Structure 1
C-alpha cells in the first residue's frame, strides 16, 4: 500500500499539470467511440435478424388473426372476409331492402284495355313471383319453389320446363338457378340479416289485347355461412366467415286478367328470363348456388370475366347465364 503523503503529493502535481484538461477530454472521446462501436454492432445484428425473418417467412398477410383484432370489425378493410357478425360489411347492399313488403311497385295506370286496378293486380302478382323465387326462406334453404310455380300459367310450356329442370338438373340447359335461388341445406345456410334486394319494375301493353307486359330488373345479395357452425373461421379469433353471392335477374312477365285461347286468366307467363351470377361455381349444376369462400377463391380456376356485380347500367345478354368473378361483393 502506498504512503498517504506520497499519494496526496501526486494528486497535487496532477492538478497543476497544464495538460490535465486535454488528457481528460481525450479519455472521454475514447469512451464515446467504444460505446458507439458496441451499439453499431448490436444494430447490425438486429437488422440482420429482421432481414432474415422477412426473407425466410415472407410478408405477413393483412388478414392474419392478430391484424384483425387490432381493429373494430366495422373498420376492417373491404378485402377482408365478412363474418356472421356483420354479413354485409363493406357491401353497398348493406342499406338495401331486406324483404318482400319493401319492394316498391310503380303506380298502376290504365294501359290498353286494362284498367288501373287490373294493372295493379298484375304488378302485385309479378312481385309475388319475384319474392317466391328468390326471397322465400324455404326456397333459399333448398326447398321446392311451389308458390312461384303456382303463379305461372300451367297451360304454357315454361312451367313444365322449369319443373323438369328442378327434377333433373344438369348441363347444358337444365339449370334451375335460371329462375330460382336455392342453396344446398347440407352445405350452406343464409346468415342472419344476410339477404338484400334492390330493383325496379315497369309495365306496358302486351302484344295482344288484354295483356300486360311487365319487366322486372332486380339484384339480390346473399351472405352465406357453412352449415356446420364455425367450420369456416373468419379473419379474427372466434369469428365465422360468410361468402356473398350476387344474383341479378331480368324478367319479362306477361299477365292477362281475362282468359283467352291458350292462356289462364290471372296467371303469369315467363316470356324472357336472364341472369348474371357473381361468386358462384358455374361449373356445378345441381339446382343450387355454390359460392366461393375466401380461401377457395384464391386457388380456384374461375375462367369468367371480372365484373362489378352492382353495376345495373347494362343489359344482361341473352342465352346462357352470365357467370362472373365479382370485383367486389
Structure 2
C-alpha cells in the first residue's frame, strides 16, 4: 500500500516516506539554525563599530611613540643656553669641556696695552711644562703668529705680499722652533731665506757659529741650546706675536715681526732632578722684500734691516752661541740683573728691560 503520492500523482515507497518523517523530526544537516542569544549580542556590537581595513600580510604598522614634550623642551632650552655661552665667552667653553687648565689666548692683532694678568703660582712639571705661566694659553708654531690680510704694496701685488708674509713667518719658525736648530744644528733652512748678497749679515753668519762674540752671536737671530747641558722638555714651543707690513725704501715690502718664544728646559742627564726652567726669548725683526729691479737679491729671499731681542733665563756669561739656562745654585741672587716681565709685550723690545741678550732677571717665568 502506498504511503503517499507526489504532485504528479506518482507514489512514494514506504522506505522513502519513513526517511522523510525521520529527517523532519531531527532536522536536515544543511538546514539553517537559529543563532543563540550570545551570538546575536556579538553581531549587534560588531555592526555598531566602524569598518576596519584589513591588514596586508606583508604590511607593518610601527608602534606610535610616546610623547615626551617636557624633555624635548628642556633639551631645546639647554642647547640655546649653550649657544649663548659660546657666542659671549668661547674661551670659557673650552675650559668647560677640557677641564682644568688655562683658556686659550685670543690671537694678537696689535700691541697689547698691558702685561697679561698673573695667575696662581704653580711649578711646571714634565707633563705640564707651561703650568703656572701665561704661555699655557698660548698657541704653538705657526698658529701663534698673527699674519695680517695681504694688500698690494710697492712693487708687489696682493698675492705676492701674501707669499712674502708667509715666508717671513716661516723664517721665524725655522729660526725659533725647528727641533734641530734648538739642539744646536746649523740653521740651513732659515739661512737660505736671507738675501745672500747682503754682506753685513753674511759676514755675521760666517763667524757666529764657530767663533761667537757679542757682536757676532748666532743667538741674535736663532734660538739654540747645547745638548750636553740642556734638554728641551716635550715637543712644544709656545709662540705669541704678530707680523705687520708697510712700504719701505725703493718701493720694497717691509715686514716687521714681534714674536715671543717660550722654551721649557731641564738639565741634561739630571736623572731624578725635576727642576724645569723656562727660557723666554722675544724678538723684533724688520725684513725687507726688495724689488729685484732696484736691489741685488735672489728670488724668495729678503734682507734683514734690523734685529734685537730680550731673553730671560738664557744665561749671562760670555757668548758661547747657545742659551745657557741657570739651574740650582747657578741661579742669580735676588736683586741681581735688571728686572723684566718676559710676558709683557706692551712696550718695544729694550724699553721694558735689557735688549740684545744683556742679562735680565725675570719677575715670573
TM-score by length of structure 1 reads 0.69
Cα deviation, residue 258, structure 1: 3.6
Q: Structure 1 regions of 5+ residues with no counterpart?
A: 1-72, 234-239
Cα deviation, residue 95, structure 1: 1.2
Structure 1 pair 160/174, CA: closer, same or farther in 2 (3 Å)?
Answer: closer
TM-score by length of structure 2 reads 0.62
Residue 118 of structure 1 aligns to a residue whose secondary structure is helix
Cα deviation, residue 265, structure 1: 3.1
Residue 254 of structure 1 aligns to a residue whose secondary structure is strand
> Which residue is equivalent to 2:330?
296
Q: Structure 2 regions of 5+ residues with no counterpart?
A: 1-99, 102-118
> Which residue is equivalent to 1:141?
183
Q: Distance in 2 between matches of 1:314 and 1:159?
A: 30
2:204 to 156, 161, 168: 161
Residue 208 of structure 2 aligns to a residue whose secondary structure is helix
1:214 to 246, 255, 261: 255
Cα deviation, residue 301, structure 1: 8.3
- Is 1:321 equivalent to 2:364 in the alignment? no
Cα deviation, residue 78, structure 1: 5.6
- Is 1:187 equivalent to 2:229 in the alignment? yes
Cα deviation, residue 195, structure 1: 1.5
Cα deviation, residue 193, structure 1: 4.3
Deviations for 1:266-288, whole angstroms, at most 9, x for unmatched residues? 21111100000111212231110
2:338 to 298, 301, 305: 305
Q: Which has the higher contact order (CA 8 A, sep 6+)?
A: 1
Cα deviation, residue 79, structure 1: 5.3
Aligned pair count reads 245
Residue 228 of structure 1 aligns to a residue whose secondary structure is coil
- Whether the 8 Å CA contact 2:237–2:263 is kept in 1: the answer is yes
Structure 1 pair 302/138, CA: closer, same or farther in 2 (3 Å)?
Answer: farther
Answer with 1 or 2: which has the greater Rg.
2
- Whether the 8 Å CA contact 1:218–1:248 is kept in 2: the answer is yes
Higher mean Cα deviation, 140-149 or 100-109? Answer: 100-109
2:242 to 176, 192, 200: 200
Q: Distance in 2 between matches of 1:303 and 1:260?
A: 49
Q: Distance in 2 between matches of 1:88 and 1:176?
A: 26
- Residue pairs, 1:81-120, within 5 angstroms: 81-100=123-142, 103-120=145-162
Q: Distance in 2 between matches of 1:78 and 1:187?
A: 30
